[in-house]
């Protein structure tokens, strides 16, 4: 809203305030309809029902939630829901979540998710979708669980793996780095250890507080942001949806929280690419599926460098792509700008590594098809022109570039692209409409 509001801004602001007072909010918080297809101990696998008049087809997508965060991360609100986006495109969409964690679950460790929850969910989704390979998408700790499961069980029917905001090098997390020397000094006998052992985990209020503190600046400036955006319905609706997400945080099981605290926060276990779990060592180099890695440009929980650290560790993956997209830890997944950045990259990635015959009409795939068709048409016209004028082929002037090439010169179309001054900044790939630090930056 302008410093001196315009008449239309005043009207919009008054309408938003009245709607919030009369109806309790502006956001459409209706969940996307879904059906339970499998369940077990802290495992619930859902299939989202196809949209009306949209034929569901193609390889399925499985969304893997992190511990402590509700499945709302993928279905935040109508108009800003990754689930809604995938379902509307006709993509078979599934989700695995864990339900409420209680004191009786305190003995469950990371092995439960890596050995049982994620692998079972992948197999159940594949079977439910007609034995098709599965595109696995994991956000935050869900991405780490997905990578460990894919590395530990190479025969899982995985078509591709997408990791969103999953920190691998904890030393590069500003919120944790200053505390690590103190944590190591306590040698496991500190107050945090005693607290989770007594309480059986990290309780919901503590998890909620930690998430809010990671965005402390936004929390402090929130009243000002609301006041200056009273005329922006979409902005206010997003704030409401994020508040609901935060209010629905889930507790951590005791043993799992202890493993995360000691191995990841204190020990930075995954930075070398392998970690001991149970009676074996899991190496990320054993992942065979292609992997897409997202880093958030303003992510304070998992900064882009801490996420990108996984790229050189994926030596066995068929392909690895790293992208920097707008947003913080949650915003990069389901923020308002994710609709034109993260989701479009994900569409392209899933289409690239899907079955050849699937033909899912995603918006991105349609644009790619139109571009391909235009290129083929141009190629045919060029061929026809060459046939109509054969004399041009024998023209001596055409031989000059080849001679130059023979002497060692590099043709213009094969010259390496110039390095960007800020490879990690949004917009480093100018051929895209959204911010990107694309895969071509990996060799820098």
Residue extents of the structural domains in the chain: 30-176+272-352
CA–CA separation, 438 and 324 (whole Å): 7
CA–CA separation, 200 and 254 (whole Å): 4
CA–CA separation, 444 and 436 (whole Å): 15
Residue 407 φ/ψ, nearest 5 degrees: -85, 0
What's the confidence (pLDDT) of residue 260? 82
Query: Where do we find the tokens 């990841």?
Result: 264
What's the confidence (pLDDT) of residue 209? 47
Q: Return the DSSP state at 279.
A: T
Q: Which two tokens stand for residue 249?
A: 């945080």
Helix (H, G, I), strand (E, B) or coil at 275: strand
Centre a 10 Å sphere on the Cβ of residue 102 and count the other Cβ atoms it contains.
12
CA–CA separation, 294 and 307 (whole Å): 8
Q: How many helices (H) and strands (E) does the chain have?
A: 16, 12
Q: How much is the pTM?
A: 0.72
User: 384 Cβ partners below 8 Å, 6+ apart?
Assistant: none
What's the confidence (pLDDT) of residue 423? 40
What's the confidence (pLDDT) of residue 34? 97
Please compute Rg for the chain using Cα positions: 25
CA distances 244 to 27, 72, 140, 334, Å, are: 10, 9, 19, 14
Whether the Cβ atoms of residue 134 and residue 350 lie closer than 8 Å to each other:
no
Residues in the chain with pLDDT values less than 70: 1-6, 8-11, 13, 15-24, 175-231, 251-252, 254, 356-444
Query: Where do we find the tokens 């799992």?
Result: 256
Closest CA to 80 of 322, 342, 435: 342
Whether the Cβ atoms of residue 155 and residue 95 lie closer than 8 Å to each other:
no
What's the confidence (pLDDT) of residue 267? 83
What's the confidence (pLDDT) of residue 171? 87
Helix (H, G, I), strand (E, B) or coil at 172: helix
Centre a 10 Å sphere on the Cβ of residue 337 and count the other Cβ atoms it contains.
17
Q: Which two tokens stand for residue 384?
A: 């026809």
**Surface-to-core class of residue 260, CB atoms within 10 Å of its CB (0-12 exposed, 13-18 middle, 19+ buried):** buried
Residue 335 φ/ψ, nearest 5 degrees: -80, 175
For the chain, how long is the longest CA-to-CA vector?
A: 87
What residues does 161 pair with on adjacent strands? 136, 291
Q: Which two tokens stand for residue 436?
A: 């990107």
CA–CA separation, 439 and 422 (whole Å): 14
Helix (H, G, I), strand (E, B) or coil at 306: helix
Helix (H, G, I), strand (E, B) or coil at 136: strand
**CATH code 3.40.50.1820 for 30-176+272-352:** yes
CA dihedral 284, 287, 292, 293 (to 10 degrees): -10
What's the confidence (pLDDT) of residue 404? 38
What's the confidence (pLDDT) of residue 88? 96
Whether the Cβ atoms of residue 333 and residue 362 lie closer than 8 Å to each other:
no
**Exposure string over 153-191, b if 16+ CB within 10 A, otherwise e:** beebbbbbbbbbbbbbbbebbeebeeebeebeeeeeeee
What residues does 94 pair with on adjacent strands? 47, 62
CA–CA separation, 201 and 194 (whole Å): 10
Closest CA to 436 of 324, 342, 329: 324
């Amino acid at each position: 809203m302008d410093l001196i509001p315009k008449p239309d801004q005043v009207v919009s602001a008054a309408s938003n305030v009245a709607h919030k007072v009369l109806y309790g909010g502006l956001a459409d918080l209706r969940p996307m309809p879904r059906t339970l297809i499998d369940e077990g101990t802290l495992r619930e696998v859902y299939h989202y029902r196809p949209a009306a008049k949209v034929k569901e087809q193609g390889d399925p997508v499985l969304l893997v939630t992190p511990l402590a965060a509700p499945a709302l991360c993928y279905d935040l609100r109508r108009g800003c829901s990754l689930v809604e986006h995938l379902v509307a495109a006709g993509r078979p969409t599934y989700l695995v979540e864990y339900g409420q964690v209680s004191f009786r679950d305190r003995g469950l460790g990371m092995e439960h998710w890596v050995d049982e929850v994620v692998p079972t969910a992948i197999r159940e989704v594949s079977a439910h979708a007609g034995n098709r390979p599965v595109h696995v998408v994991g956000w935050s700790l869900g991405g780490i669980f997905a990578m460990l499961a894919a590395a530990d069980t190479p025969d899982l029917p995985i078509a591709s793996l997408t990791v969103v905001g999953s920190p691998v090098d904890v030393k590069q997390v500003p919120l944790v780095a200053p505390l690590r020397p103190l944590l190591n000094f306590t040698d496991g006998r500190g107050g945090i250890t005693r607290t989770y052992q007594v309480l059986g985990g990290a309780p919901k209020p503590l998890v909620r507080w930690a998430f809010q503190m990671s965005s402390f600046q936004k929390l402090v400036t929130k009243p000002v942001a609301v006041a200056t955006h009273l005329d922006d319905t979409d902005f206010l609706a997003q704030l409401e949806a994020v508040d609901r997400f935060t209010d629905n945080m889930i507790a951590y099981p005791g043993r799992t929280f202890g493993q995360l605290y000691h191995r990841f926060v204190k020990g930075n276990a995954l930075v070398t690419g392998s970690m001991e779990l149970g009676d074996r060592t899991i190496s990320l180099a054993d992942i065979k599926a292609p992997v897409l890695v997202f880093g958030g440009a303003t992510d304070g929980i998992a900064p882009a460098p801490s996420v990108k650290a996984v790229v050189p560790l994926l030596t066995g993956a068929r392909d690895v792509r790293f992208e920097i997209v707008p947003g913080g830890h949650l915003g990069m997944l389901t923020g308002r700008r994710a609709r034109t950045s993260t989701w479009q990259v994900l569409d392209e990635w899933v289409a690239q590594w899907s079955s050849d015959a699937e033909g899912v009409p995603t918006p991105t795939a349609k644009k790619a098809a139109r571009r391909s068709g235009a290129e083929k048409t141009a190629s045919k016209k060029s061929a026809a022109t060459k046939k109509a004028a054969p004399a041009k082929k024998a023209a001596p002037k055409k031989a000059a570039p080849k001679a130059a090439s023979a002497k060692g010169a590099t043709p213009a179309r094969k010259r390496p692209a110039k390095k960007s001054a800020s490879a990690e900044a949004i917009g480093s790939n100018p051929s895209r409409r959204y911010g990107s630090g694309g895969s071509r930056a990996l060799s820098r």
